[in-house]
């Protein structure tokens, strides 16, 4: 499971994500749709910490990837000097916590108890981001194959560098993966000689070479010529059918409907609407989503 809790992301003064929370359970295929600039990529990139959230937490299974966000932990708020000062004034616990959350009252220094509680919580729950990323594959709009490496080296670099496999094992696996997508003959060529569709399929199996538990796709077909979209989508569908947990940002509505177990509609940095694909596509509730569908369908 990947859980994002109360995620905020600001780029300077622009609030790109505003209090986004969602949990991607094992086996789910979550598809994120929405107008461009709505924060879809940012949310996806927060899930493997390619973007650092401004507030909020990202959890993978029972491990925390981000710093502790004290606003999510009343027991930590209660140790702050701000809380202590406010309760001395006679207000109830509930009132004070609500007030602190609402007005962002926690300061950098809130006394020793508070600091040590945060440190302890962090120590007990944090997972190194590099370890987490091994389990979360990512596929980019522009493929991002390593330009200075052959296709084979693209597939073996991470397993070998991270000492998960010997060179021979990694290469054996790489050939098996290339065979699966019918590109064994491309093992020794450099990415620049490949078509967009081939690059993207190789980028997908490069991620699979790490044997991930989750796959994140950020508009995997948006940079492709139309005739190559099909081959990439069918590989992703195949992967979905094999039980992989995935989060996919896409503008391919037919594909979204087909592959999704849950659809999130993101606009202006919030999840405006979510639900099963049939429900969302047949009966959009918000004006925003109806308007979006009228433009893309």
Residues at the site binding Mg ion, with contacts judged by CB under 5 A? 41
* Distance in Å, CB of 192 to other proteins, minimum: 4
Using CB under 6 A as the binding rule, the residues of this chain from 34 to 53 that contact ligand ADP are 34, 36-42
Determine, following the binding rule CB under 8 A, whether residue 108 of this chain makes contact with other proteins.
no
Contact status, residue 217 vs residue 208, Cβ threshold 8 Å: no
Q: Which of 98, 131, 241, 296 is the binder for other proteins (CB under 8 A)?
A: 131
DSSP strands (E only) in the chain: 2-11, 14-24, 29-33, 55-60, 63-64, 136-139, 214-218, 245-249, 262-267, 270-275
Residue closer to ligand ADP (CB basis): 15 or 87: 15
Phi first, then psi, for residue 245 (nearest 5°) are -80, 125
Binding mask 68-107 for ligand ADP (x = CB under 6 A): ----------------------------------------
* Distance in Å, CB of 11 to ligand ADP, minimum: 3
| Four-point Cα dihedral 134, 136, 142, 148, nearest 10 | 10
Q: Which of 7, 174, 210, 259 is the binder for other proteins (CB under 8 A)?
A: 210
Partner from other proteins, ligand ADP, Mg ion, none binding residue 144, C-beta < 5-8 Å depending on class? other proteins
Residue closer to ligand ADP (CB basis): 23 or 36: 36
Task: List b or e across 186-209, with b for residues whose CB sees 16 or more CB atoms inside 10 angstroms.
Answer: bbeebbeebebbbbbbbbbbbbbb
């Amino acid at each position: 499971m990947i859980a994002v809790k109360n995620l905020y992301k600001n780029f300077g003064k622009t609030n790109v994500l505003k209090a986004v929370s969602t949990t991607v359970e094992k086996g789910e295929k979550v598809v994120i749709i929405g107008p461009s600039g709505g924060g879809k990529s940012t949310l996806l990139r927060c899930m493997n910490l390619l973007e650092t959230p401004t507030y909020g937490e990202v959890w993978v299974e029972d491990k925390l990837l981000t710093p502790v966000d004290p606003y999510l932990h009343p027991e930590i708020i209660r140790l702050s000097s701000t809380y202590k000062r406010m309760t001395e004034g006679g207000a109830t616990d509930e009132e004070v916590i609500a007030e602190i959350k609402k007005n962002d009252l926690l300061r950098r220094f809130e006394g020793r108890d508070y600091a040590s509680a945060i440190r302890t919580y962090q120590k007990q729950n944090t997972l190194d981001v590099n370890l987490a990323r091994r389990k979360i594959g990512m596929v980019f709009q522009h493929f991002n194959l390593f330009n200075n490496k052959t296709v084979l080296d693209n597939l073996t670099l991470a397993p070998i560098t991270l000492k998960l496999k010997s060179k021979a094992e990694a290469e054996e696996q790489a050939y098996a993966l290339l065979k699966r997508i019918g590109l064994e003959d491309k093992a020794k060529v450099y990415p620049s000689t490949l078509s967009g569709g081939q690059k993207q399929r190789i980028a997908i199996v490069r991620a699979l070479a790490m044997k991930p538990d989750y796959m994140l796709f950020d508009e995997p077909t948006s940079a492709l010529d139309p005739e190559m979209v099909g081959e990439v989508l069918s590989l992703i569908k195949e992967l979905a059918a094999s039980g992989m947990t995935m989060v996919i940002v896409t503008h391919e509505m037919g594909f979204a409907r087909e592959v999704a177990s849950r659809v999130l509609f993101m606009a202006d940095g919030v999840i405006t609407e979510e639900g099963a694909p049939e429900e969302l596509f047949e009966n959009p509730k918000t004006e925003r989503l109806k308007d979006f569908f009228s433009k893309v369908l």
